[in-house]
Structure 1
Amino acid sequence: MLHHVELWVPDLDRAVVSWGWLLGSLGWEPYQEWPAGRSWRLGETYLVVERSPALRPGAGHDRMRPGLNHLAFRAPGRGAVDALADQAPAHGWTPLFPERHPYAGGPGHYAVYLEDADGFEAEVVAG
């Protein structure tokens, strides 16, 4: 089982809006809060977004370069995936592959693919 994931973000407030909405919509609950970060928890697993003081300046996250491409989450069903797809833009997410939604991952894989303002991708799959 995954223990936790930590995403270093360039703008904590922006990440809290987008990730907080997405994770809350999927049943994750706020877990920890400190000046440079926030976390949400589901069961024993938690996800952190942090504007670390050790963050190096640079070009930012690029999901197409080596490293993290995306995080994939389960939704309770197709209705939840569709609701997330509809509501995502109001919460800082851009739908990826909208012309192929909800089967961008192939036939039988019902999901929405989202990208936040900092280039992080989240996939939400109907469970």
Structure 2
Amino acid sequence: MKGLHHVEIWVPDIDEAVSSWGWLLTRLGLELTSEWSDGRTWDSGSAYVTLTTSPNLTSAAHDRRRAGLNHLAFWGGTREEVDAVLADAEAHGWHPLYQERYPHAGGPDHYAGWVENAQGFKVEIVAESHAEASPEG
């Protein structure tokens, strides 16, 4: 099978990153499978996400608007499950984005929410479509 194998995110402060990312990844069903002084890995079964302290802390802070990674998008389950994650996100270090257009900031047929943490990383939480959720397919 082809697809995403893993994502490694270099962060300026692993403890600060784990505070927000750890909550979110666990809430989305990933399991913390590895932990060391400068990093953590969460596994989804088919892919994994690793946070590691950047070896180059002299560089500018992450800016999702510059060339490079803008955001990661994760499946969040049903619309109700996505709503629940987003309702709890701010208490765990994630600031909501595009609230005035939630949950259709990505278009009328796309149910999702966006959040950004204090380190400037943006995440999209996407609901399964009604077609994917229905037994008729």
Aligned to 2:42: 40
1:16 matched to 2:12? The reply is no
SS of 1:50's partner is strand
Name the counterpart of 1:25: 27
| Aligned partners of 1:8 and 1:55 also within 8 Å | no
The gaps in structure 1 that reach 5 residues or longer are: none
* Count of residues in Structure 1 that have an aligned counterpart in Structure 2: 126
Whether the 8 Å contact between 2:12 and 2:57 is mirrored in structure 1 is no
**Residue 75 of structure 1, CA deviation:** 1.3
Q: Which of 54-63 and 14-23 deviates more?
A: 54-63
Shift of 1:16: 0.6
CA displacement 1:37-57 (0-9 Å, x = unmatched)? 0010001311011113x2241
**Equivalent residue number for residue 72 of structure 1:** 73
Residue type of the alignment partner of 2:7:
V
The structure with the larger Rg is 2
- CA-based RMSD of the aligned residues comes to 0.9
TM-score, length of structure 1 as denominator length: 0.95
Percent sequence identity over aligned pairs = 55
- In structure 2, stretches of 5+ residues that fail to align are 129-137
Q: Structure 2-normalised TM-score?
A: 0.89
